[in-house]
């Protein structure tokens, strides 16, 4: 099943949702469960209108968005649905989404769709919001800022400029510390880069200095097992 966290405007309400998913022996499910940190208990929420696995998701305020993925057949879904955690109600959209969406990014009050870079085209995002083109690259939100790790030639940390709609370089990262392929996560104002073998580098975006174009990390951990590759990583705070 897929795990996602909701932290609404009410700071006393922190919920973690587990929803959808499938296995080799079971078809996609529409089940939705949640953990409420205030009561230290699990509960069952209203089921998704569509059973999904391998789908995309994003949280914006108290709204949870799910999109695309697959169901009980090999034909992929091209739809999206929105869940309101306050009312425990799902809204199903009739809009058809393109199949090349790689991820959803909630940013500055909007849900942005991230598309496959090789197609070299733009699509409008969910609910008419604008899309951001960057393909299958690691990204993470720190506050209202969107960061990307460019691994095309070495490793560079990039920052999305909303005003000019372009990426700017924050700084290059040491090849001795960052071992691609990497994934990103964040806690507070610190970006954590986890690479091959679980090699880990942390960068405080407010305090990070640059020396001859290289970004100085806050701390780093050596790789544990060179045979391990990270598929994804998340931070959960309840």
pLDDT band, very low/low/confident/very high, at 3 (cuts 50, 70, 90): low
State the Cα–Cα distance between residues 82 and 102, nearest whole angstrom.
18
Q: 167: which strand partners?
A: 160
State the Cα–Cα distance between residues 159 and 167, nearest whole angstrom.
6
- 93: Cβ–Cβ under 8 A, 6 or more apart, which residues? 79, 80, 81, 82, 126, 127
Domain 138-238 grouped into CATH 2.40.50: no
Q: Which is more confidently placed, 197 or 117?
A: 197
Quickly name the fold that domain 1-136 has: Neuraminidase (2.120.10)
Tens of pLDDT, residue by residue over 195-232, are 999 999 999 988 876 666 678 777 888 888 888 888 88
State the Cα–Cα distance between residues 169 and 157, nearest whole angstrom.
6
Question: Position of tokens 């990390």?
Answer: 217
Tens of pLDDT, residue by residue over 135-186, are 567 889 998 899 999 888 888 999 988 888 888 888 888 888 888 889 999 9
Do 138-238 and 1-136 have the same topology in CATH?
A: no
Tokens of 123: 């699509």
């Amino acid at each position: 099943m897929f795990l996602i966290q909701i932290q609404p405007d009410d700071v006393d309400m922190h919920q973690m949702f587990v929803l959808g998913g499938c296995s080799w022996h079971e078809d996609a499910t529409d089940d939705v469960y949640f953990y409420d940190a205030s009561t230290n208990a699990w509960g069952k929420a209203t089921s998704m209108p569509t059973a999904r696995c391998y789908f995309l998701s994003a949280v914006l305020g108290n709204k949870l968005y799910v999109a695309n993925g697959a169901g009980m057949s090999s034909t992929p879904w091209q739809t999206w649905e929105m869940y309101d955690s306050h009312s425990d109600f799902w809204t199903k959209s009739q809009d058809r989404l393109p199949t090349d969406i790689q991820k959803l990014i909630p940013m500055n009050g909007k849900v942005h769709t991230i598309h496959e870079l090789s197609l070299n085209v733009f699509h409008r995002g969910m609910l008419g919001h604008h899309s951001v083109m960057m393909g299958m690259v690691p990204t993470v939100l720190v506050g209202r800022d969107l960061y990307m790790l460019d691994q095309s030639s070495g490793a560079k940390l990039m920052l999305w400029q909303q005003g000019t709609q372009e990426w700017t370089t924050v700084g290059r990262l040491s090849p001795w510390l960052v071992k691609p392929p990497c994934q990103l996560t964040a806690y507070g104002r610190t970006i954590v880069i986890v690479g091959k073998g679980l090699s880990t580098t942390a960068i405080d975006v407010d305090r990070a200095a640059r020396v001859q174009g290289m970004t100085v990390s806050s701390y780093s951990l050596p790789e544990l097992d060179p045979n391990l590759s990270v598929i994804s990583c998340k931070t959960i705070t309840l």
